[in-house]
Amino acid sequence: MSSADVSGEPGSAPAAVLAMLAAMRSVGLDVDALCAAAGLSEAALAKRTEYLPPGELVPIWRLAVKQFGRGTLGLHVGAAFPKGNLLDYLAGSSPNLRAALGQIARYIGLDSQNVRWVLGAREADGLTMFEHQTNDAAAQIPQQLWEFSMAISATRVRDWFDRRPREAWFAHAPLGPVAEYEQVLGCPVRFERDRSGLRFDDEALAAPARSHDPNLFRLLESHAARVLAETPTAATLRERVRNAVVQRLRDGEPGIGNIAETLALSERSLQRKLQTEGVSFRDVVDEARHKLALVYLGDASLSMTDVACLLGYAEGAAFTRAFKRWTGRAPSQFRSVS
């Protein structure tokens, strides 16, 4: 059985909330009005690094349902949820649907700590449940948000694997016409069951991804593991900066301007606050890279070029020089004795 392992208080990643708002806008909602009424702004979310607790999302969903005029809002927002985050790329490059569902279960914390996905064993009727569970502290979130999560998964399965669930189960009663659920989810839907989730047959679970890429999958899985490990809310600015750096390393050398903007600080303020903690921005970047380098070098499936790329270096020689500065040894020497 595979499930996400996320510590810390439940919440949703700012980037995932922004994508949710974009999906709400695409189904015709006045997102500016929703954010204003809930005391949020997309501009502030774009600079935020801490996860949003459930209490900040509940007002948006309640207001959005009123504005939409139908209880089935979550289905339509989930179906319109934009693609392109790390979890999308990881699951979409998986070898088959079973592997993709396992990746979603393991790394859902990159987007949300409010929910868990669990890929169960094959049941007596020949189907396997991809079960949707809620964290206890998030139990009061409106049912539309759980339908939103289910619709995202069903839509991704169709787009990545050209497959549909055999059935969808919900623990609650329908919030609208059953036909509307079946149209969005692409399968028969059962309500008031003992659990919620999507059920698949063996043929669907074995289906290959349309865009499976073994090398990309390997790199993304390594990166996702490191990002998730750094996800829990940080207590100090140094840790917050390190977390922000880790999430940007795959895009190249992280600049202090970009990190300061992510943390909603000026460069000068960021430098000054770090100095009070006894470190510089460069110290924190080095610390993040050094820590990740030791992990990546322990993975024999990653080449030196892969490791350099994951750490944001434009060339392997720059990584080698940095590693010698950190440890007094070349990366190849470290790997040969570890």
pLDDT for 172: 93
Q: What is the pLDDT along the chain (338 residues), one digit of tens a residue?
A: 333 333 344 688 899 999 999 999 999 999 999 988 888 889 988 888 778 877 788 889 989 999 999 999 999 999 999 987 778 888 888 889 999 998 888 888 878 878 889 998 899 999 999 999 876 444 467 899 889 999 999 999 999 999 999 999 999 999 999 999 999 999 999 999 999 999 999 999 999 988 777 776 677 777 776 666 665 544 577 877 887 787 777 677 888 988 888 777 889 989 988 988 888 999 999 988 888 888 778 777 788 988 888 888 888 899 999 999 988 889 988 887 65
| Dihedral sign from CA coordinates of 78, 83, 89, 94 | positive
Q: What are 53's two structure tokens? A: 């607790």
Closest CA to 311 of 226, 191, 194, 185: 226
Separation of CA 261 from chain center: 21
Which residue stretches of 29-177 are H helix?
Answer: 31-38, 42-47, 54-68, 73-79, 86-92, 97-107, 143-161
Q: To which residue do tokens 């669930």 refer? A: 165
Which residues does 36 contact at the CB level (< 8 Å), separation at least 6? none
Q: Are 7 and 109 in contact (CB under 8 A)?
A: no
Q: To which residue do tokens 């991809």 refer? A: 130
pLDDT for 137: 44
Q: What is d(CA 112, CA 121) in angstroms, rounded to the nearest whole number?
A: 24
Q: What type of residue sits at position 17?
A: V
Q: What is d(CA 335, CA 21) in angstroms, rounded to the nearest whole number?
A: 45
Task: List, as one string, the DSSP characters of 186-210.
Answer: SS-EE-S-SSEEEEE-HHHHTPBPT
pLDDT for 230: 61
Q: Up-side HSE of residue 168: CA atoms within 13 Å toward CB?
A: 30
Closest CA to 15 of 59, 39, 46: 46
Dihedral angle computed from the Cα positions of residues 301, 305, 307 and 313, in that order, rounded to the nearest 10 degrees = -170
3-state helix, strand, coil in the chain (%, to 5): 60, 10, 35
pTM of the model: 0.65
SS3 assignment, position 104: helix
In the chain the domains, ranked by start, together with CATH numbers, are 2-205 (3.90.1520), 234-337 (1.10.10.60)
Q: To which residue do tokens 């005029």 refer? A: 69
pLDDT for 135: 62
Other beta carbons less than 10 A from residue 49's beta carbon: 18
Q: What is d(CA 230, CA 244) in angstroms, rounded to the nearest whole number?
A: 9
- DSSP at 138: G
Closest CA to 239 of 267, 266, 268, 259: 259
Closest CA to 65 of 79, 49, 53, 77: 77
pLDDT for 262: 76
